[in-house]
Structure 1
Amino acid sequence: MQLIIQHLSKTYPNGVKALDDVSLTIPMGMYGLLGQNGAGKSTLMRTLATLQDADRGTAMLDDLDILNQKEAVRRVLGYLPQEFGVYPKVSATDLLDHFIVLKGITNGRERKELVEALLQRVNLYEHRKKAVSSYSGGMKQRFGIAQALIGNPKLIIVDEPTAGLDPGERNRFYNLLSEIGENVIVILSTHIVQDVMELCNNMAIIHQGRVLYSGSPMASVVELKGKIWEKSIAKSDLPTYQQQYNVISSKLVAGKPLVHIYSESTPGESTPGDLDPGEGFVSAQPDLEDVFFSTIQADTLVTR
C-alpha cells in the first residue's frame, strides 16, 4: 500500500500559492512532513483528508482516487487535526461512541466493544467516565488518536500532534504513533524536527508550498557530514557573521549565540563559490535540524 501524490497545486483567492506542484510517494509506515508554519503542510493535509479541493494534480491511495472518491476515502481515513473541539461535560465513552455512530457503525454491542478496545489501546480506559474537556493536553491527543482509529483506517493523518505536550506525554504519544505506523500509512505533519527524527523512516521538507527534499531523515543527515561548522560568538557580532557566512541557525548557549554555518570548505582552504569557515569554527556533528535549516536557507537564496 502506498499514497502517490502527483503535481498537486492549490492557490487561495487572495493569491497565496499554498501548494506548488507537490509530488510525493508515501509508503506504509510513519512519514514525516516537515516545514515551518505557513509552509503548506496543513493545506496538503486538509486536501488529503478530503476537506478541501486542489486546483490540479492527483492523489491515489492504491487504486482509490482521493480527490474524486471522497466518501470512499473517508471510510478508510483517520484524521487528527491540530485542534479539535469537544462537547463540555461529555465523557470519553459517550463521545467516542458518538464518533463511532458517525462512522457508520450502529450495532450497540459492537460499538461498546469498540469503545472499550480503543480506550484501552490509547491508555485512557481508567479515565473513560471523565469529560474529555477536563483532560490534559496529552490525554486529549490520545483521545484524538482513538477517534482516528475508528474503522481500521488505511491512512491516518496527524497535524502538529505534539505541540504543547510535556516530555512524558510526548514520549507516550511517540510510542503510540510508532505502534500504529507498523501496519498503515501515518502522515505526521509537524515543524518539530525531533518528532520526525524519532518516529519516521521517510520524510519530506516543504517550504512555501514546494517539496525541497524527500527521502530518509538519516540519509539527509549523512549528506551533511563535514559541511556544518559551529562557533560561539558575542551577541554583538551576530549581524556581522550573518553577512559574512551562510549562517543556517543560531541559538543561545550559556548566554552566547552558538552559530551553525554551512560550508563545503575547511578553515584556510576555501573553494570557488564557498566561504572559508574561518578561524575559531569547529566541525559540528550534523543533525536533522541542520538539514532542515540548510535546505530552507539554500532555497531562500535561490529564490531571492
Structure 2
Amino acid sequence: MILTIDNLSKTYDNGVKALQDVSLEIPKGMFGLLGPNGAGKSTLMRTIATLQDADNGHILLDDLNIATNKHTIRKCLGYLPQQFGVYPKMSAEVLLNHFAVLKGITQKNERKEIVEALLYKTNLYQARKQNLGGYSGGMKQRFGIAQALLNNPKLLIVDEPTAGLDPKERNRFYNLLSEIAENTIVIFSTHIVEDIKELCNNMAIINKGEVVLRGKPLELIEDLNGKVYQKTIQRSELEAYKKLYTVINDKLFLGKPIIHIVSDISPGNGFIPVKASLEDVYFSQINN
C-alpha cells in the first residue's frame, strides 16, 4: 500500500500559495511531515483527507484517485485534525458509540466490541464513563485517535497531535501511533522536531508550500555530519555572525546565545565541530 502525491498545488482566494508542486511517495508505516506553522502542512492534510480540492495535481491511494473517489476513500481513512472538538458533557463511551453509528457500524454487538476494544487500546477504558470535559489534553488526543480508528483505516492522518502534551502523555501517544503504524500508512504532521526523531522512518520537510527535503531521518543527519559547527557568543554579536556565516540555529544557554552554522570547511574563529542532529537538518532547510 502506498500514497502517491503528484505535483499538488493549492492557492487560496486571498492569493496565498499554500502548496506548490508537492510530490511525495508515502509507504506503509510512520511518515513525518515537518515544517513551521503556515508552511502548508494542514492544507496538505485536509486535501488528502478529501476536505478540500487541489487546484492542480492528484493524489492516489494505490491506484485509487482521492479526488474522484472521495466516498470510497473516506471509508478507509482516519483523521485527527489539529483542532478536534468534543462534547464536554458526554462520556467517552457514549460519544465513541455515536461516532461508530455515524461511520456505519450499525450492528449493536459489533459496535460494542469495537468501542470497548478501542477504549482499551487508547488506555481510556477506566475513564470511559467520565465526561470528556474533564479529560486532560492527552486523554482528549487519545480519544481523537480512538474515533479515527473506528473504521480500521488503511490511511491515518494526525495533524499536530502532540502540541501541548506533557512528556508522559507525549510518550504514551508515541507508543500508540507506533503500534498503529505497523499495518497502516500514518502521516504525522508536526512542527516539533522531536516528534519526527522519535517516531518516523521516513520524512519530508515542507516550507512555504514546497517540499524542500525528503528522506530517512538518520540518512539526512548523516549527510550533514562534519558540516555543523558551534560557538557561544554575546547577544550583541548575533546579527554580525548571521552576516558572516550560514547560521542555522541560535538558542540560549545560561543566558548566552549558542549558534550553529553549516560550513564545508572548518571556519576557525573559535567554532568547534559538533555532531549533526535532526534539528540542525530542519533549521538548515527553513532558515536558509
TM-score by length of 1: 0.94
Kindly provide the amino acid, as one letter, of the partner of residue 296 in structure 1: I
Does 2:117 match 1:117? Answer: yes
Does 2:270 match 1:289? Answer: no
Distance of 1:284 and 1:192 partners within structure 2: 21
SS at match of 2:156: strand
Offset of residue 71 of structure 1: 0.6
Kindly provide the amino acid, as one letter, of the partner of residue 46 in structure 1: R
Offset of residue 64 of structure 1: 1.6
RMSD: 0.7
Kindly provide the amino acid, as one letter, of the partner of residue 150 in structure 1: L
Tell me which residue corresponds to 2:35.
35
Kindly provide the amino acid, as one letter, of the partner of residue 40 in structure 2: G
In structure 2, the gaps of 5 or more residues are: none
The count of corresponding residues between Structure 1 and Structure 2 is 288
Distance of 1:26 and 1:114 partners within structure 2: 28
Question: Which aligned pairs between 1:1-304 and structure 2 lie closer than 5 A?
Answer: 1-266=1-266, 277-298=267-288
Deviations 1:243-272 (A, max 9, x none): 111111100011100000011111xxxxxx
SS at match of 2:74: helix
Tell me which residue corresponds to 1:271.
none
SS at match of 2:182: coil
In structure 1, the gaps of 5 or more residues are: 267-276, 299-304
Deviations 1:262-294 (A, max 9, x none): 11111xxxxxxxxxx232100011100100111
Offset of residue 297 of structure 1: 2.8
Distance of 1:29 and 1:150 partners within structure 2: 19
Deviations 1:157-201 (A, max 9, x none): 000000000000000000000000010000000000010011000
SS at match of 2:183: coil
Distance of 1:261 and 1:251 partners within structure 2: 12
SS at match of 1:150: coil
Kindly provide the amino acid, as one letter, of the partner of residue 278 in structure 1: G
Deviates more, 1:232-241 or 1:118-127: 232-241
Kindly provide the amino acid, as one letter, of the partner of residue 10 in structure 2: K
Deviations 1:80-110 (A, max 9, x none): 0111111121000000001101101111111
Kindly provide the amino acid, as one letter, of the partner of residue 290 in structure 1: D
Kindly provide the amino acid, as one letter, of the partner of residue 69 in structure 1: N
Distance of 2:204 and 2:77 partners within structure 1: 21
Distance of 2:255 and 2:268 partners within structure 1: 22
Kindly provide the amino acid, as one letter, of the partner of residue 209 in structure 1: G
Kindly provide the amino acid, as one letter, of the partner of residue 276 in structure 2: P
Deviations 1:125-177 (A, max 9, x none): 00000011210000000001100111110000000000000000000000000
Kindly provide the amino acid, as one letter, of the partner of residue 151 in structure 2: G
SS at match of 1:151: coil
Moved over 6 A (4+): none
Tell me which residue corresponds to 1:272.
none
SS at match of 1:194: helix
Offset of residue 296 of structure 1: 1.9
